[in-house]
Chain A
Amino acid sequence: MKISLNWLKDYIDIDLSLEDLARTLTMLGLEVEEIRVVGLELPQKSDRSEFKITGLGWPSDYFVVAQIDEVMPHPDADRLTLCRLNDGGADLIVLTGAPNLFPYKGIGPLVKPIKVAYAREGSVLYDGHKPGYELTKLKRAKIRGVESFSMVCSEKELGISDEHEGIIILDSDAPTGMPLAQYMGDAVYEVSILPNMIRDASMVGVARELSAVTGKALRVPQRSVKSNGPNIAGKAAIEIRDPQLNPRFVLGLIEAVTPRESPYWVQRRLRMAGMRPINAIVDATNYVMLETGQPLHAFDYDVLKERANGERPTIITRPAVEGETITTLDEVRRNLDPNDILVTDTAGPLSLAGVMGGLESEIRPETRNILLEGASWNFINVRKTTSRMHLNSEAGYRFARGVHPALASWAVELCLQRMYEWGGGQIYEGLVDKYPLPPQDPQVEITVADVKRKLGITIPATEIADILRRLEFKCQVDGDRVVAQTPPIRLDIGSGEVGKADVIEEIARIYSYNAIPETDLGDDLPPQGNNLALDHEEKIKDILVGLGLQEVITYRLTSIERENRLALDRNELNPQSYVKLRNPSAPERAVMRRSLLASVLEVLEKNVHLSERLAFFEIGPIFVPIKGQQLPNEPRQLALAMTGKRHNSAWDVVEKGQLDFFDLKGVLSGLLESLHLLNVSFEPASHPAMHPGKCAQIFVNGNSLGYLGELHPQVKERYDFLSACVVLAEIDLDKLVSLTPLWFESAPVPLFPPVLEDIALIVDANIPAERVETLIRQTGGKMLSAVHLFDVYSGEKIGTGKKSLAYSMTYQPQDHTMTAAEATALRNKIVRRLEREVGAQLRDE
């Protein structure tokens, strides 16, 4: 909402600086987003400028109200005129091309001088002929032989609006010679209105808030002009079919209004508020809506009478019928449903209640007699209508948030007066007012203790009452208790405990949030527990980072097609098994992911040209719909993907090693070891995305944790990867976390020296290395503290179909120093077991 300071001052005295006013409004909950200065002095650039300030000041020495006494033709140019102008001093000749002066050209001295905004030589103002707002300085120049050094200004040149077709013609009572800033200098505050403060989408509303904090009196405008016409009785009738939808409907009547231009100050204020002035009738409805917050609607009374065959028109409000249509002012034909509310007459729909008028009964240039509507509507219905139709109107905006029905008659009365003042005519006496459902404005009881309990401060009852009275609550004080009656201007105060909270918010707001001292939480600390899922998860991240992997966080929204890339058999993923959006923002973000691996692989693909080594992991949920369950399961997963070089190259070393299956296996083994998981095994397995010969399933104590492997070459072809292989793993994080021990035992450092021994064994190529190692460990028992495979060889030397596995073993007795004989015995035992179980032969060196 754009608040003109000049206009606001009609309702309250303001002696704050431009920035202090912005600060005050912001601290009331009326956040100021921008201040646009239109004529007033621009604030000095200071160390702390809290607001975006734009606009133009009009220094008194340069910008004044002047009067044109005669408009003369230019000797050489038809499109230019020479104005004899007085700026409060001497007579001057000013050159202008303003088309709105042409009617006065060459008619001799004017009987009624034209008041204009005059800028003297040296003024800085906006260039009216260039797009946008570009500052320029008035310099002396000769135009077609006539010297020009000053100008009469358009609105654009002064920064009032975009209007630059003609010059501003001020109201005739503008005092010649008065500095322009003093006459109409202004600043516009762009204020965002919170949903529960729609009452402040009005000048009076904002003034009321300011009055509450500054203590300055609020001047509520009231109809002051007496009716000069007959009584309205019998001129129109109202029928409200559903008071829940339409609690109140008020009509006023004014006849013989001239739809002329409104006074300049009205037009200027409307423009400042972002509205386009039309004529006195339309301007009055808009002006009063901005003033009071009550949207109004003007019907052409003659059209209504005609539709009623010359009889008294009857206005009927009712829900629309399925299939009904209305063509609104914007010339759009709209299909209605029973949720929409219509204002109709006996002939059919007149307007979409609370949102937009109908085209048929619109005010026309020839309209003279006005039936003026002020009504209130159920905000939910209006909301449904505006959101379904994507219709944003000033009226819809306010009604969809709730306008108090009490405002209707006040606003109608004010508007009739404005129409009369700006367009003349005859105001009918009285209103037709149907008010079947006045709201129950809640009475809220609040005690000093209530305030203390919520805010932590003690405010005496009299001060509580004082604050609330400034917001027009009617208050009774009884000891520590205040009974506050909500004023009939707002719908945001509830009753009971909610009402108390609502009122306490108002107290805190006016008292100032920043005046409430901060305190430390003194309440009982709830029992604290552990949070293993999170703790382990964070630990896993740290371990993986230590192992050289980069964490990524990807979109949880994806598409089935994107995930399908990863499945060798594209039918594997069933569309039914996805959480799907009803209103996706883009087709590639239409479902919640089922595969974390697919997301991580996309990241790998995206970065593949950016780094010679890539190693990523992500931890996060996937989304699995469950039949018969409203919400999906969200199991957490760990996905890893790596490709490229094993180490980084340097200026003297070019890394040749490429990351492969065993690098990833090393990472996973390292992770499981760091988590102190025992009984880990990797078994050959198959996975739809992985190379059938390079894929393993991971088990811990017989529980499957997930898969690792090389990306299947056929799947890899679907991605933009380089020749290097891509390895990836998918781990059930919830399972991993559940198997991770909370604590573990450490082993003492041995007191006796270890004995190291290497053996090389020849076995059949198909014997898994893990089997050999397991046999070594089993046989070595406690005495064997470490086994390390340090070489794998296959070749002619040892015969085809064979491989050699070389292990270094560490024997570590706990209670004595091992003798050579003991070591030999242990070694022989191990070798014999291997010979027996896997047909191993000791390899001769």
Chain B
Amino acid sequence: MPANVGGTTGNKCPSLFVGTGLFFGGFMEEKPKIISELEETRDKALASLSQVNDEEALQNWRRDYLGKASQVMLTFASLGQQPKDMRALLGQTANQVKQALEVALEEHTQRVKQTALLHKVQSEQVDVTLPGRAPVQGGLHPQTQVMRRIFAIFAEMGFQVYRTPDVESDLYNFELLNIPAYHPARDMWDTFHVEGEGVVLRTHTSPGQIHAMRQNAPKPVRVILPGMCYRYEQISARSEIQFNQVEVIAVGKNITFGDMKGTLNGFVRRLFNADVRTRLRPSYFPFTEPSAEMDVECFVCAGKGCSVCKSSGWLEILGCGMIHPAVLENGGYDPRVFSGFAAGMGPERISMLLHKIEDIRYFWGNDVRFLGQF
């Protein structure tokens, strides 16, 4: 072992050194032997240091060349016994040697440590392609997420959330919305009727319009009405008996069809992207007039036609219109003074478009393989 070489040499040195020390004084002109021996030991020590490459050998080297029994330290110890005129020179030399050794040791120790660390680091390689440990993770239902987006966009435009019940009277769900019994428009909703007189599961969030207006009239209203709605349908990939709707209404003294376009276009641009194209198509709802459907240029194919937009290039996104005078009146507003708009959209449809969900039954099916993707 090269580390031991220095050690063994060092062990022999002190006896030689002490022995010759007594002999030193006579030759002032020549370098005293004791000094050249110190220097030789120093050179030998420095030379052997480069062979030292672990913590233990470093300790041994320190003991041999800087320990209590080392030549340098013994030189200091024996300084008092040296001739007076030698002391200064010898002390100085011993100091220099000690310092040189210490500096060298310090430097080398650092080097050895770095080398050892480098070795360790090199041996510690892991297979970074092994999977990470999965933390326990919760998640929001996709419809909570899309609802929040809708709420947030409308909140910026001053629309607050207003919730109304799922089980409604026929009066609020139909009559007050200008849909009398046996009106052709009733065809548009296949209704679940509840046992008891005139009670239904709301077929849309529109009854909330009347609730919100009646609570606020004659102050202006700007609310969105989210909630679960129900229609008697055969459950299939395309239709559900239970679905969310978000209704938007604004009532005031200066609200126009143009304002409705501005507001809804603003919403759609925030939801999809800033330069999405939209169009309004005439439509019919008993509680609005004029009524319209808003189509958004298909963001999947940019209007070229694909399976999502069924080759039409357009996606139906919401129904809207100016609130019908009879509905305004039922809400407590004079239709000659007040006007307003209403719009309704299906958050499930929006999610289906945004995430290319092909089966509406996934939403309330709550399969973890579906929920885990959001």
Residue contact B130 to A454, C-beta cutoff 8 Å: no
Asked if residues B216 and A514 are in contact (CB atoms below 8 Å), the reply is no
Distance A529 CA – B322 CA, assembled complex (angstroms)? 25
Complex Cα spacing A546 to B136, Å: 9
Tell me the nearest residue of chain A to B314, going by C-beta: A50
Closest Cβ–Cβ distance, residue A457 to chain B (whole Å): 7
The residues of A that contact B265 with a CB separation of less than 8 Å are 518
**Residue among A456, A500, A521, A550 with max Cβ neighbours from chain B (10 Å):** A521
Contact A653 B242 (CB under 8 A): no
User: With contacts A50-B313, A504-B290, A607-B367 known, is A521 near B255, CB below 8 A?
Assistant: yes
Interface residues of B in 146-178 (CB under 8 A from A): 148, 157-158, 160-161, 163, 165-169
B360 to chain A, nearest CB (A): 13
Contact of B259 among A520, A531, A548, A632 (CB under 8 A): A520
B113 within 8 A of A: no
B367 vs chain A, min Cβ distance (A): 7
Nearest to B255 among chain A residues (CB) is A523
Expressed in whole angstroms, the minimum distance between the Cβ of B214 and any Cβ of chain A is: 14
Q: A498-B324, A526-B220, A634-B167 are in contact. Are A456 and B193 (CB under 8 A)?
A: no
- Determine whether the beta carbon of A550 is less than 8 Å from that of B139: yes
Residues of B within 8 A of A527 (CB): 219
* Chain A: CB-nearest residue to B134: A648
Taking a contact as CB atoms under 8 Å apart, the answer to whether A648 and B261 are in contact is: no
Which residues of chain B from 198 to 252 have a CB within 8 Å of any chain A CB? Answer: 198-199, 201, 216, 219-222, 228, 230, 232-235, 241-242, 250, 252
Task: For the complex formed, measure the closest distance between the CB of B200 and the CB atoms of chain A, giving whole angstroms.
Answer: 9
Expressed in whole angstroms, the Cα–Cα distance for A455 and B366 within the complex equals 44
Q: What A residues does B305 contact at CB under 8 A?
A: 48-50
- Across the interface, which residues of B come within 8 angstroms of A566, CB to CB? none
A792 located at the interface, meaning its Cβ lies under 8 Å from any Cβ of chain B in the complex? no
In the bound complex, how far is the Cα of B234 from the Cα of A505, in angstroms?
34
Contact present for B232 and A585 (CB under 8 Å)? yes
Tell me, rounded to whole Å, the shortest Cβ–Cβ distance linking B369 to chain A: 6
A580 to B256, CA, bound (A): 42
In the complex, the answer to whether A505 meets B289 with C-beta atoms within 8 Å is yes
- B-side contacts of A455, CB under 8 Å: 256-258, 290
Give the distance to chain A from B20, nearest Cβ to Cβ, in Å. 61
**Do B138 and A522 have beta carbons less than 8 Å apart?**
no
> How far does the alpha carbon of A557 sit from the alpha carbon of B192 in the complex, in Å?
11
CA distance A615 to B366 in the complex (A): 12
Partner of B250, one of A509, A513, A523, A529: A523
Q: Indicate which residue in A195, A538, A554 contacts B188 across the interface (CB closer than 8 Å).
A: A195
- Cα(A107)–Cα(B77), bound, Å: 149
- Residue on B nearest A381 in the bound complex, by CB: B182
Q: Mark B272-284, 1 if CB is under 8 A from A, else 0.
A: 0000000111111
A49 near B366 (CB under 8 angstroms)? no
Q: With a CB–CB cut-off of 8 A, which chain B residues contact A531? A: 160-161
- Answer yes or no: B312 CB below 8 A from chain A CBs: yes
- What 1/0 mask marks residues of chain A from 608 to 628 whose CB sits below 8 Å from any chain B CB? 001101111000010100000
Cβ B281 vs Cβ A456 within 8 A: no
Contact check, B134 vs A650: say whether CB atoms are below 8 A apart: yes
- A581: Cβ under 8 A from any B Cβ: yes
Q: Contacts A380-B182, A513-B280, A651-B130 hold; do A548 and B136 have CB atoms under 8 A apart?
A: yes
A524 to B131, CA, bound (A): 56
**A557 near B242 (CB under 8 angstroms)?**
yes
Inter-chain CA distance A631–B250, complex, in Å, is 27
Taking the nearest CB of chain B, how far is it from the CB of A451, in angstroms? 10
- Assess the A551–B167 pair: CB atoms within 8 A: no
Once the chains are docked, how many angstroms separate the CA of A544 from the CA of B140? 9
Name the residue on A nearest B336 (C-beta): A497
The reply on A196 being an interface residue by CB < 8 A is: yes
- Give the interface centre of A29, A455, A501, A522 by most chain B CB atoms within 10 Å: A501
Q: Which residue of B lies closest to A452 (CB)?
A: B256
Measured in the bound complex, the distance between the Cα atoms of B283 and A610 in whole Å is 45
Report if A694 contacts B (CB, 8 A): no
Q: Quick one: which of A526-553 are within 8 Å of B by CB?
A: 526-529, 531, 533-534, 538, 541-542, 544-553
CA distance A544 to B223 in the complex (A): 28
Q: With a CB–CB cut-off of 8 A, which chain B residues contact A634?
A: 165-167
- Name the interface residues of A706-721: CB closer than 8 Å to any CB of B: none
Given contacts A579-B167, A630-B196, contact A29 B284 (CB under 8 A): yes
B216 A526 Cβ-Cβ under 8 A: yes
Chain B CB count within 10 A is highest, among A603, A615, A646, for A603
A456 touches which of B163, B165, B169, B259 (Cβ 8 Å) = B259
* Residues of B317-374 whose CB lies within 8 A of A: 322, 324-326, 329, 335-336, 339, 363-369, 371-372
Q: Mark B302-319, 1 if CB is under 8 A from A, else 0.
A: 011100001111100000
A631 close to B167 (CB less than 8 A)? yes
Asked if A528 contacts B313 (CB within 8 A), the reply is no
Assembly CA distance A553 to B135 (angstroms): 23
Q: How far is the CB of B272 from chain A (nearest CB, A)?
A: 16
Contacts of A650 in B (CB 8 A): 131, 133-134
Nearest chain-B residue to A194 (Cβ)? B284
Chain B residue nearest in CB terms to A496: B325
Min CB–CB distance A288 → chain B (angstroms): 23
**Residues on the A chain within 8 Å of B144, using CB:** 541, 551, 553
Q: Contact check: which of B233, B335, B367, B368 meets A497 at CB < 8 Å?
A: B335
Taken together as a complex, chains A and B put the C-alpha atoms of A50 and B197 apart, in Å, by 46
Minimum distance in angstroms from B48 CB to a CB of chain A: 45
- Residue of A453, A523, A545, A646 most packed against chain B (CB within 10 A): A523
Question: Which residues of the partner chain B approach A541 to less than 8 Å between Cβ atoms?
Answer: 140, 144
Chain A residues whose CB sits within 8 angstroms of the CB of B259 once the complex forms: 456, 519-523
Q: How far is the CB of A797 from chain B (nearest CB, A)?
A: 35
> In the assembled complex, how far is the CB of residue B181 from the closest CB belonging to chain A, in whole angstroms?
8
CB pair B166 A556 closer than 8 Å = yes
Complex Cα spacing A4 to B115, Å: 89
Please measure, in the bound complex, the distance between the C-alpha atom of A632 and the C-alpha atom of B195, giving whole angstroms: 11
Contact A519 B368 (CB under 8 A): no
* CA of A794 to CA of B332, assembled, Å: 70
Residues of B within 8 A of A52 (CB): 310-312
Quick check: is A606 within 8 A (CB to CB) of the other chain? yes
A456 lies within 8 A of B257 (CB): yes
Contacting residue for B262 out of A504, A518, A582, CB 8 A: A518
Q: Taking the complex as formed, is B137 at the interface, i.e. its CB lies under 8 A from any CB of chain A? A: yes
A383 with B371: CB separation less than 8 A: no
Q: How far is the CA of A603 from the CA of B235 in the complex (A)?
A: 18
Q: Give the distance to chain A from B187, nearest Cβ to Cβ, in Å.
A: 7
Q: How long is the Cα–Cα vector from A551 to B137 in the complex, in angstroms?
A: 11
Cβ-defined contact, B193 with A583, below 8 A: yes
Other-chain contact of A402, B141, B184, B194, B324 (Cβ < 8 Å): B184
CA distance A159 to B198 in the complex (A): 50
Q: A647 within 8 Å of B by Cβ?
A: yes
B-contacting residues, A476-518, CB 8 Å: 497-498, 500-502, 504-505, 508-509, 513-514, 516-518
CA distance A170 to B141 in the complex (A): 63
B253 CB–A CB distance under 8 Å? yes
Is A47 close to B, CB under 8 A? yes
Contacts of A497 in B (CB 8 A): 325, 329, 335-336
A548-B137, A554-B366 known; A29 vs B169 contact (CB < 8 Å): no
Residues in B with CB closer than 8 Å to A380 are 182
Apart from A524-B253, A585-B192, what are 16 other A-B pairs with CB-CB below 8 Å?
A: A29-B282, A194-B282, A401-B184, A452-B256, A513-B281, A517-B261, A522-B259, A546-B138, A552-B371, A579-B194, A581-B201, A585-B241, A610-B369, A630-B169, A630-B198, A634-B166
6 A-B pairs with CB atoms under 8 Å apart are A379-B184, A517-B258, A526-B252, A533-B163, A542-B140, A585-B241
Residues of B within 8 A of A (CB): 130-131, 133-141, 143-144, 148, 157-158, 160-161, 163, 165-169, 182, 184-185, 187-188, 192-199, 201, 216, 219-222, 228, 230, 232-235, 241-242, 250, 252-259, 261-263, 265-266, 279-284, 289-292, 303-305, 310-314, 322, 324-326, 329, 335-336, 339, 363-369, 371-372
Q: Ordered nearest first, which 3 A-B pairs have the shortest CB separation?
A: A456-B256, A456-B258, A29-B282
